[in-house]
Amino acid sequence: MKIETAAVVGAGVMGAGIAAHLANAGVPVLLLDIVPEGDQDRNALAAGAVAKMLKADPAPFMTKRAARLITPGNLEDDLDKLAGVDWIVEVILEDIELKRDLYKRIEKVRKKGSVVSSNTSTLPLAKLVEGQSASFAQDFLITHFFNPPRYMRLLELVAGDKTRPAVLEGLRDFADRRLGKGVVLCNDTPGFVANRIGSFWMQSAINEARDLGLTVEEADAVMGRPVGVPKTGVFGLLDLVGLDLIPKVDASLATNLAPDDAYQALRRPWPLFDKMIKDGYTGRKGKGGFYRLNTEGGQRVKEAIDLGTGAYATAGKAALESLDASRTGGLKALVAHQDKGGRYAWNVLSQTLAYAASLVPEISDAITGVDEAMRTGYAWKYGPFELLDRSNFQCLFVREILESDHHQTKLGSPVAEMV
């Protein structure tokens, strides 16, 4: 299966970014969106997306010349042009009925054997193909890119029971060789791999920070470089991805996961979080989030929110003995320390690693794929199983995890076999 041309349907931030990265690989791309009401330029949404990317920082394009490979269009005038492309990527709203309707329109015009994929991060493949033709189901799969597509290496691939093996292998090879992706094959389960574990990790980190009375600066200092996570930590990461995205992912997981899944027990109402979103504090794309930049009086002062009161104050540097211990003793010294930073690291990691271990082979058949997903999707230095396999770290964690009240690791799971 050869992919020489492509189309992306949906010119939002994610769709436009995928189109840009295809263009970076030298692939001509047709970028389609709806016709904006009242605009004389019927291609305004797609054309505007390309124009924005040419000014964006970090740059979605490797060179500005790559933008010439994108042809803006719209779904009313240019749908029949899909007959000329090898791969069609759908990146529209996470509304299953809208997607299904679009697929029926695509099926009428696409050429035989062309690949169709969805960039969904929340909807099961089995539900997406309900009511579609057999030929469509054979050529359909999920290609879950991470934002921004040029810089985030992870691509999660999900094939259905009816997906042709040649489609999966062909796209896997193309994504690896042409797009430079770290491809992880995932099962058709809620959140796939990275967001299933990553959402649990973030929810656990939020809960434990509130329960233990850590500031956002302390929480991020602990749940950052000392545990092999980027310096954003958790609250800084939430600001980066956008606070308004989190309730959507959470709602999808809550709806689709079994009632006895450990994630369900972690979920808690948090009025402060809801108020921040309502007030426009959605992170870096809004007025700020858990951190904000106060520019009053011509100054540029970084401030952090108080998790209890919601008030902002000048962000300070975390000063914890556990952090000092980690600089010489590493992760083992951090989680063994009895101050609130050490307890925080232990509580979050023990819960998260136990959860990850309980999900194999449900979410993926290989623990190497799980580790790859967390390294390339969340920029962890080590995946969860690599963390368990670190020198002297496994012995510290495994038995206590298996005996934890929080989780019951499945018999036969990779962690159970380590003991």
CB contact at 8 A, 225 and 403: no
Residue 247 preceded by cis peptide, ω within 30: no
Looking at residues 229-245, what average pLDDT do you find?
93
CB contact at 8 A, 190 and 257: yes
- From start to end of 139-264, where are the E strands? 140-145, 154-159, 182-186
* Residue extent(s) of CATH 3.40.50.720 domains in the chain: 6-186
Q: Quickly name the fold that domain 194-418 has.
A: N-(1-d-carboxylethyl)-l-norvaline Dehydrogenase; domain 2 (1.10.1040)
**Domain 6-186 bears CATH identifier 3.40.50.720:** yes
Q: What is the pLDDT of residues 174-184, one digit of tens each?
A: 999 999 999 99
Beta strands 182-186 and 154-159: pairing type?
parallel
Tokens of 383: 């995946």
User: Is the pLDDT at 380 greater than 80, yes or no?
Assistant: yes
Scan for tokens 């009240």, then name that residue: 405
What is the reported pLDDT for 412? 42
Looking at residues 225-250, what average pLDDT do you find?
93
Residues 6 or more apart whose CB falls under 8 angstroms from that of 24 comprise 61, 62, 66, 150
User: Is the pLDDT at 26 greater than 90, yes or no?
Assistant: yes
Tokens of 10: 């949906």
Residues 6 or more apart whose CB falls under 8 angstroms from that of 158 comprise 125, 141, 142, 144, 185, 186, 187, 188, 192
% of the chain exceeding 70 in pLDDT: 93
User: Is the pLDDT at 404 greater than 80, yes or no?
Assistant: no
CB contact at 8 A, 221 and 344: no
DSSP assignment, residue 292?
A: E
pLDDT band at 127 (very low <50, low <70, confident <90, very high): very high
What is the reported pLDDT for 394? 58
Residues 6 or more apart whose CB falls under 8 angstroms from that of 118 comprise 89, 90, 91, 99, 125, 128, 140, 142, 143
User: Is the pLDDT at 363 greater than 70, yes or no?
Assistant: yes
Q: Is 328 exposed, middle or buried (0-12, 13-18, 19+ CB in 10 A)?
A: exposed
Q: What is the pTM of this model?
A: 0.89
CB contact at 8 A, 6 and 88: yes
User: Is the pLDDT at 407 greater than 50, yes or no?
Assistant: no
Q: What is the pLDDT of residues 11-23, one digit of tens each?
A: 999 999 999 999 9
What is the reported pLDDT for 419? 38
Distance separating alpha carbons of residues 17 and 25, to the nearest angstrom:
13
Q: How many residues does the chain have?
A: 419
Distance separating alpha carbons of residues 249 and 247, to the nearest angstrom:
6
* Residue extent(s) of CATH 1.10.1040.50 domains in the chain: 194-418
DSSP string, 327-394: HHHHHHHHHH--SHHHHHHHHHHHHHHHHHHHTTTTS-S-HHHHHHHHHHHS--SS-HHHHHTSTTHH
What is the reported pLDDT for 39? 85
